[in-house]
Structure 1
Amino acid sequence: MIREEARRLLIELLDSRRGKKVLVLDPKVSGFLGLLAEVSLLKEHGIEQLLHLSTEPLGDLGVRNVIYLVRASIENAKQIAEQIKETNRAAAGFEYAVYFLPRRTIACERIFQEEGVYGDIVAGEFPLGFIPFDYDVLSLELGTAYRELVADGDRSSLYGVARALTRLQALYGGAAVLKGKGPAAAAVRSLLLRMRQELGMEAPITGAARCPAMDSLLMVVVVWGIAGGGPIDEIILLDREVDAVTPMCTQLTYEGLVDETMQIKHGAARPWHRPSRLQRFAHLQKAGRNAHPGGRQRIALNSADKVFRDLRDLSFAAVGPQLGQRAKSIQSDYKTSKRSLAELKEFAAQLKALPNIQRHIGLAEAVNRAIAAPAFRARVSVEQSLLDGHGLDASAESIEASPICRARTDLFVVLRLMCLLSLTQGGVPKKYFDALRKEILHSYGHEYMLMLSNVLHCAGLLVRHEGGKGNFPTLKRAFRLLVDDIDDKIPTDVAYVFSGYAPLSVRLVEAAVKAPGWGVGEEVLRLLPGPAFEVEQTSDDKGLPIERPVQDRKLTGLRRSILPSATPAADSLSAGWSLRVSKKRRIVLVVFIGGVTFAEIAALRFLGTRPEVNCSFVIATTKLINGTTLLESIVDDSIRTAKETAAL
C-alpha cells in the first residue's frame, strides 16, 4: 500500500506536464526512485530521458518539457538556476517544472528569485513519505537529518517525519500509544498532535485502518511465525542522539558486515566479482591481454531472496555452516531415482534456490576476506575493550597508532573509534585528542581540523575529556548492555548482533514493550538526552484528536522488567506488577530519528521472536546507516564548505 501510494503520487506528478519530457534527478533521489518505479513505468508516462542534476546546459534534448525532481536544498536550487540560465542562453522554448522532496521551501524559491529564473519555473513538491525497503523496514532517505539535528540545529526534517507518520496512520489506523525518548522525538510528538488537530474529524482513527486491504508490510510472514497482521498498536520514537554508541560499533551480523565491508545502498550491495580462470581466459581472448574481466555486480538484498531472508540476521559465525548445510542438502537430497511427483516438485524448488546459495557463498567469502585482515580484528578488539571500560590508555594508544594516512576509509575507521572512546569514557583525554588533531592536519589538511574542532564536537560525538567517566558505565549496568557467554549460533539475547554488546536503543524498546513506562527509574532516563513520554492518542467527546496519559496498561500489552530476574533490581521492579498478556500479537512501529543500523534491525527482529514480548516490530527511520556513513554525512559537507571558503 505504501509503495502503491508513492507510485500514484509520482505518476500524478509526471502526468501534470503534458507530452514528452526529460526527468532531471538529484543523485540522492535517483537511487531510491528505482525502488518505487521502473524505467518502463516512467516511459509509459512520457519520460524520454533521465539525467542527473548539474550546472551544464541541457543541450538539444528533442523535447520541450523539463522536470526536476530534487531534495529541497540551497545547493540544488543554485544548480538548477545555473543550468536553466545556461540552457536559456543556448536555446529557447524550454518549459521547466521543479518538484522538491519532501516539500518546497521559501529559501529555495528565494534563490530562484535572486538568480532571475523564478518566472521560468513552475514550482511544486513531491510529498514522498516512507519508502519500503522490505516488508518491515521503511526509510525516508534523509541522509543529512542527523547532522542537521545535532550539529546545525536545523529541525526541518522533523516535519517530514511527522507528516510521513500521519500518512502511515491514515493508511493503517492510528496507534493507541505513542512513546518516545529524546529532544527530536518530543518535537515529532508535538507535530503529530498538531497535524491530527488540523485534520480534525478526518484524523486517523485509533486502531482502525482507513483501507481494509493490508499489504505485506503488516501482514503474516510465515517464516517469522507472525500470527496475524493489523493496524499499528504502538509507536516508539527514538532519537539517534539517545544512543550514538551503537552506530560506532562494528556490526557482526551477516547483513551488517556486508554493509560494513561493501556498503548496502538502496537495498543492494556491489561486491567485487572475481571471475573464474575460464572466464578470465575467454575475456582475454575477446578483449585483449590488458583487459580486466572483474567488476562490481549488483546484488539485491531483501526478503524476496529466501536464502538472504534466512541468513541476514544471523551472526556471521553461523552463516558459513548454514550455507554449507543448505548446499549439501541439495546435492545429497536423493540417491535413488524413485520419486513421487510431490517430491520432484520439492526437489525442483530446492534446485531453484541453488543460484542464490552460490551467490551468498561468494558474498560471504568476500566478507570473510575483509574481516580476516589484522586491521579489522584489531579494530573489533579495541571496540570491545572500550565497551568493557578496560584499558583506556592502551585502547587510545592503539587508535593513535592506526595507519590513518593510507586511505580515507581508514580515517573514518579511526574517527569511529575515537568517537566510541569519547562516548564511552566521557571524552577523549587531551594528549590523545591533540595527537589525533596533529596527525589529521599533516595527513589531510586544515579542512579536517575544522571537522574535529567544530562539527563532531557540536554533534557531541568527539569531545575533550573534562573529568569523570561519563554516563555510559551507569547506563551499561542499568540496561545490561554487556552480556557474557553469547552463543553466536543459538542466541538467547539481542547482544549477539555485536558479539556481547546489546544496543542501548534496542534495550530501550525492549523496556518500553515489557514494562510500565520505560521499565527503568527516572534517574536513569535522565542520563539520556531529552524528555521521555508515554501518551495515548485518542479523541474527546466531540471526536476531536487529543492526547492524554496512558491510563490502561493493557494498551501496552505485556508488562515485565527488562532486567534479568536474577538481579535484586529486577526483583524490586517486578514486585507488585501484574502480568498482563494480550492474546493479540501487537504491531509496534519503532521510529529511529537520525538513522538505524542493520544490526539494530536484526536485534528487533530477534526480539520479536521472543514469546514474552508478544510483538511484531516494524522499523521506520530517516536513513539506513552504519558508523562510517553517519560520519560521512556529518563530515563531508563541512569539508566541502571549508574548501569553498578557502577558495574565495
Structure 2
Amino acid sequence: MQNTLDKVVGSLNLISQRRLTDLLDKIPGQKDFIIDRDLIKPLEKIVGVIKLRSHGVGNFYKLDKSTVASSASQVVYFIPSNLVTAKYVCDQIKSVIRQNNKKYHYYIILFPKKITAIDQLFEEEGIHGNVTLYGFQWELINLDSNILSLEHEQFFQTTFVESDQSFLPSVAKSIWTLQMLFGKPQITLLQGKLSQQIYLQLEMLFDKLGFPERKDTDIGYFLVVDRDIDFASMLLTPGTYTSLLDEVFGIKSSIVDFQIIGKNVEKENKPKGHQLSSHDEIYSQIKNRHFSDVFRFLSNKAKDLQVEYKRSQNMPLQEMKRYISQELQNITNVKATLAYHISACESIISNLGPKFESLQNVEQNMLEGRNRRENNSYIEDCIAMGLCNKVGALRLSCLQSITQDGMSSDELNNVKNEFLHAFGYKYLTSFHKLERLGLLTEQHSLISSEATAGIIASKVVQVVSLPTNRRSAFYTMAQKLKLFPELQEKYDLKNPKDMSYVFNGAYIPAVCQIANILLKQELSFDELIKIVPNCSLKMNKSIDKPLRTMFIYFVGGFTYAEAAACQLLEKLTGAQIFISGTSVNNGNRLMESCL
C-alpha cells in the first residue's frame, strides 16, 4: 500500500505540469517567460526548462528592477497574486510600450488565482488591451518523503495577518484533488474557523466538479487544522537538524542556500543551493535526528570514508579498476555531501551556540509558567544588549504572551519601548498586527485598576481568597492533551520515545499529539472534541476500525519540527502519516509577516 500511495502523491506533479503546459499552449507562437523570484524554486519542482521550451517558451528572465528587453512579441509574466507585484509589472509594461513602437502582447499568469483587483489595476493604468490575465495553481508539491506543501508563502500573511480570506478556495481545491485521487476519508477532523469554511467550500467543489469515482478510500483520517491552534510550535526553538537548518538559513522548496567556507573557497562566492532529499544517503539519516546526535553520526561517517580511502590505496590493479568504475563516483558524492553537512552544523553552532542553553531554559520556564519576572528581564536584556535580532526578540515576547494569557500592562509597555527604541518606531504597527493575531496581548487583570473599582476590590479581597497560581488557557489545554511529557531524570534525545524530542524534551506539538490520540484511540471522539477548541468531526460512513493512514493539512503552514514529530509517530504506531500545508513555516517567517 505504501508504494501505491507514493505513486498517487507523485502524480500530483504531473497534474500541475499538465495544467501549466496546457495554459502555455493557449498562447500561440514563441514567448519569453518572466518569473517572480519567489516562484522559481517551486516551479522547478514540477517542470523543467526543456519541458517549457517544448511548449513555446524562448528566453527566461527573473523579474527585477531592470526592464526586460524582450525580443519576442509575446511575453508571459508568472507572478504571485498581489497588487504590489502587479503594479511593478504594470510599470514595466508601460515603460516598454512608451519606448518601442513594436506591438507586444503580455500574458500575466497569477499564482494561485486571478483576482479582480489586479484586473482593475491594469484597466486603470490604461494597458488592459495589451494584457491577458490567467490564474494558475499547482497542486501540493512533494518536498520529501510524506511531506507536501502548496508553497504559497503569501498565504499566512494574507489570511491570518491581513484577515483576507480570498485564498481559502485554493486550499479547498488542493484538498479536492487529493480526495479525488485517494478517495474521501473515513474520518475528517476540522479544527478552527478557517478549516470549517474550507470544508464548506470543499463540499461545493464536489457538487460542482464531481465526486471520486472510487467508492473505497486510502485515507483513514484527514485532519484540517488552523495554524493558530498551536503557535508555540512555531515560536519555540526546535532541536532537529532540518528544523535548525530552516531556522538559520531558510529552506525554500527543499533547497537550502548555504555556502561552505573553506581554505580553497572564496567568501565572495554566492551561496549555492543544496537540494535536501531522502535520496541523499547522509541527509536521510540525519534529517530528523536531534542536533546533539548529528555530529556524532557525521564523525563516524567521516571515519568510515577514511578507512575506505586507505583500503583503496592497497588494492590490486583489477580491483582498483572495478572500484573506480563502480564505487568511486558514489564515494566522491558522499564525501562532498558529508563536508556540506559538517559545515552546516558548524554554522548552526556558531549562530545559536552561545545563547542556546539560556534560551532553552527561558522557553522551558515560559511553557511551565515559572519565573515570569526573570523571563521578562531576559527578553529586555536580549533587546537592550543586542543578544538577539528584532525577530528573535519578538518571538520570545510572543511565546511569553501566549503561554501566560498575555502580558501585564507594565510588561508589555516595557517590551514595546525597548524594542522601538532599539529597532525603530517604524515597527509600531507590528505590535498591532501581533495583537490581532493573539500573539502579543495585554493581560486582563482580575481586579480593575480604576480608583472606584479598587475600593470595591479591597473589600472583596478581605473576604475572598483569590487564586495565586492561576493557570493559563495554554497550560490548561496542554495538560489535557498531555503536551508536556513525563520526563525521567535523563531524557535520551538521541533515542526518543515520544515526540517532545523535537523541542528538546519540553513540548509535544499539539496537532501531532491529536494525531497520536486518534491513532491510539486514547480518547473517544466526543472527549477529544471537548478538549480541542473549535473542533468537529465528519464521518464518511459507519466504520469499525479506521485505516491507519492519515493526512494532516495545516492551514497556514507547518514546521519541520512538526514533520519530524509525525515521522517519529509513524515509527511508534506503524501508521502512515502525510503532513501537508499551505507552506513550510517557522517562527522567523511568522514574525517577519508582521514586520
Q: In structure 2, give the amino acid aligned to 1:606.
A: L
Q: Secondary structure at the match of 1:298?
A: strand
Residue matched to 1:642: none
Are 1:595 and 2:557 matched, yes or no? yes
Instruction: Specify the alignment match of 1:640 in structure 2.
Output: none
**Counterpart position of 1:438:** 417
* AA of the residue aligned to 1:508: I
Kept in 2: contact 1:404–1:411 (CA 8 A) = no
SS in 2 for 1:435: helix
The alpha carbon displacement at 1:206 in A equals 4.4
> How far apart are residue 419 of structure 1 and its match?
0.5
**1:416 aligned onto 2:395:** yes
CA shift, 1:323, in A, is: 1.4
Question: What is the CA distance between 1:166 and its match in structure 2?
Answer: 0.7
Q: How far is the alpha carbon of 1:124 from its aligned partner?
A: 1.5
Letter in 2 for 1:311: I
User: Partner of 1:221 in structure 2?
Assistant: none
Distance 2:524 2:168 in 1: 24
Q: Does 1:465 align with 2:465?
A: no
Cα distance in 1 between the residues matched to 2:349 and 2:85: 40
Shift in Å, 1:199: 2.8
| Most deviating of 100-109 and 241-250 | 100-109
Q: Is 1:615 aligned to residue 590 of structure 2?
A: no
The residue type paired with residue 22 of structure 2 is: E
Q: List per-residue Cα deviations over 1:386-410 (Å, max 9, x = no partner).
A: 1122101101110011136759x71
Alignment correspondent of 2:230: 243
Q: Once the 2 structures are TM-superposed, how far is the Cα of residue 456 of structure 1 from its aligned partner?
A: 0.6
CA deviation after TM superposition for structure 1 residue 268, in Å = 1.5
Q: TM-score, normalised by structure 1?
A: 0.79
Give the drift of 1:597: 0.6
Q: How does 1:349-428 map to 2 (within 5 A)?
A: 352-373=333-354, 375-403=355-383, 406=386, 410-428=389-407
Aligned to 2:134: 124
Structure 1 stretch displaced more, 89-98 or 412-421: 89-98
> 1:120/1:95 Cα in 2 relative to 1: closer, same or farther (>3 Å)?
same
**In the aligned structure 1, how far is the partner of 2:385 from the partner of 2:216?**
56
**Separation in structure 1 between the aligned mates of residue 357 and residue 442 of structure 2, nearest angstrom:** 27
Aligned to 2:459: none
Distance 1:162 1:248 in 2: 27
Gaps of at least 5 residues in structure 1 are 209-230, 284-291, 538-549, 558-585, 636-648
Instruction: Return closer, same or farther for 1:413/1:9 CA change in 2, 3 Å cut-off.
Output: same
1:101 to 108, 111, 114: 111
Note if contact 1:55-1:80 (Cα within 8 Å) is conserved in structure 2: no
CA contact (8 A) 2:259 2:270 kept: yes
Q: Which residue, 49, 55, 58 being the options, matches 1:45?
A: 55
Letter in 1 for 2:429: L
2:554 equivalent to 1:524: no
Residue from 483, 489, 492 that aligns with 2:494: 489
Does residue 605 (structure 1) correspond to residue 567 (structure 2)? The answer is yes
CA contact (8 A) 1:315 1:489 kept: yes
* Alpha-carbon offset, residue 76 of structure 1: 2.6
Contact 2:160–2:437 under 8 Å retained in 1: yes
Once the two structures are superposed, residues 197-246 of structure 1 have per-residue CA deviations (whole angstroms, 9 ceiling, x without a partner) of: 2234x4453435xxxxxxxxxxxxxxxxxxxxxx3332111111111111
Query: How far apart are the structure 2 equivalents of 1:510 and 1:519?
Result: 16
Contact residue 72 and residue 105 of structure 1 kept, 8 A:
yes
Q: Is the 8 A contact 1:102 1:129 kept in 2?
A: no
Structure-1 separation of matches of 2:382 and 2:65:
40
Deviates more, 1:364-373 or 1:38-47: 38-47
Q: Where does residue 239 of structure 2 map in the other structure? A: 252
Q: Deviations over 1:248-271 (max 9, x none)?
A: 001110111111111112212122
- 1:295-339 per-position Cα deviation (integer Å, ceiling 9, x unaligned): 423221121212101110000011111112222234336968599
Gap runs ≥5 in structure 2: 1-10, 446-469
- State the alpha-carbon separation in 1 of the partners of residues 344 and 106 from structure 2: 44
The 2-side partners of 1:470 and 1:205 are apart by: 47
The CA deviation string for residues 351-404 of structure 1, in whole angstroms up to 9 with x for no partner, is 65333223222222222222322x333222211211122101101110011136
SS in structure 2 of the partner of residue 17 of structure 1: coil
Structure 1 residues 404 and 76: alpha-carbon distance in aligned structure 2, compared to 1, 3 A threshold: farther
Rounded to whole Å, the distance in 2 between the matches of 1:98 and 1:476 is: 47
Task: Give 1:265's aligned residue.
Answer: 252
Q: Over aligned residue pairs, what C-alpha RMSD do you find?
A: 2.6
Change (3 A) 1:470 1:346: farther
Contact 1:54–1:79 (Cα < 8 Å) also in 2? no
Q: Map residues 67-216 of structure 1 onto 2, 5 A cutoff.
A: 67-91=76-100, 92-200=102-210, 202-203=211-212, 205-207=214-216
Aligned partners of 1:207 and 1:233 also within 8 Å: no
1:513, CA displacement in angstroms? 2.5
Q: Secondary structure at the match of 1:426?
A: coil
Shift of 1:54: 5.1
User: For the Cα contact (< 8 Å) 1:400–1:432, is it kept in 2?
Assistant: no
For 1:551, the aligned partner's letter is S
Q: What is the letter of the counterpart of residue 112 of structure 2?
A: P
- Please tell me whether the aligned partners of residues 177 and 535 of structure 1 are also in contact (alpha carbons under 8 angstroms): yes
Partner amino acid for 2:170?
A: G
- The TM-score, its normalising length taken from structure 2, stands at 0.86
More divergent stretch after superposition (383-392 vs 49-58): 49-58
Q: Which residue of 2 aligns with 1:479?
A: 481
In structure 2, what is the Cα distance between the partners aligned to 1:618 and 1:521? Answer: 21
Please say if residues 143 and 633 of structure 1, whose CA atoms lie closer than 8 Å, have aligned partners that are also in contact: no
SS in 1 for 2:60: strand
Partner Cα separation in structure 2 for residue 497 and residue 65 of structure 1: 50
Q: Which residue of 2 aligns with 1:455?
A: 433
Establish whether residue 297 from structure 1 lines up as the match of residue 288 from structure 2.
no
Alignment partner of 1:65 is 2:74: yes
Aligned length: 548
Partner of 1:533: 536
Is 1:20 aligned to residue 52 of structure 2?
A: no
Deviations 1:129-187 (A, max 9, x none): 21221231111122232233333222222211110111122233332321121111111
Is this contact kept in 1: 2:151–2:253, CA < 8 A? no
Structure 2 CA distance for partners of 1:441 and 1:327, relative to 1, 3 Å: closer
Equivalent residue for 1:274, pick from 261, 266, 274: 261
Is 1:509 equivalent to 2:515 in the alignment?
A: yes
- The residue identity in structure 2 corresponding to 1:503 is P
Corresponding residue for residue 283 of structure 2: 308
Decide whether aligned partners of structure 1 residues 106 and 624 sit closer, same or farther in structure 2, where only a CA change above 3 A counts.
Answer: same
SS of the residue 2:46 aligns to: coil
Deviation string, structure 1 residues 609-634 (Cα, Å, up to 9, x no partner): 11xx3311111111101100122123
Q: Is the 8 A contact 1:404 1:410 kept in 2?
A: no
Aligned to 2:6: none
User: Alignment identity in percent?
Assistant: 24
Q: Could you tell me how far apart the structure 1 residues matched to 2:170 and 2:256 are? A: 27
Counterpart of 2:584 in structure 1 is 624
What secondary structure, in the 3-state scheme, does the structure 2 residue paired with 1:273 have?
Answer: coil
Is the 1:440–1:449 Cα contact (8 Å) retained in structure 2?
no
Which amino acid in 1 is paired with 2:498?
D
Q: Matches of 2:249 and 2:569 in 1, distance apart?
A: 27
